[in-house]
Structure 1
Amino acid sequence: MKLKNKYQKFSKISEPQFRQILRLFALDLTASDTAGLTGISVRSINTPFLKLRRRLAVESERQTPFDGVV
């Protein structure tokens, strides 16, 4: 069985749509603007946006952990 989206398991969003969402996320567009441009509902856009933000936070923390007292 071929995966529909190699970047996100069990996704109902196709790979080209996900790449477009990723591009618009990188351009710092809101979920509403992204939904309007892609034709995908805002609720469906919020899930990958949230996962991308979490992944960025984890990678950022892994690369430069905070040390000391703030």
Structure 2
Amino acid sequence: MVDLLHPKNKVSDIHEKVETLEKRLAAASGEAPEIFMTKPANKAQLRIAQDIEQNNAVEVQGLRELVKHIPSQT
């Protein structure tokens, strides 16, 4: 829990914590704002999509939904 009124907590730090929490909650429900999927994805699928964006090669199985994400990046 973040104490919003504590003087040591800067607004930027609180914003980062809230953003991180939102991303974690979204990932838990199969969503990520920067990842395009036509259907809800699980954590593994989101992680693979993020790995694809950061690496030249990623080996996966069952990539039907991931293939739909790749064209959305161009």
TM class by shorter-chain length?
0.3 to 0.5
Greater helix share, 1 or 2? Answer: 1
Q: What TM-score does the superposition give when structure 2 sets the normalisation length?
A: 0.38
For CA contacts below 8 A with separation 6 or more, give which structure has more relative contact order.
2
Looking at CA atoms only, which structure, 1 or 2, has the larger radius of gyration?
2
TM-score normalised by L of structure 1:
0.39
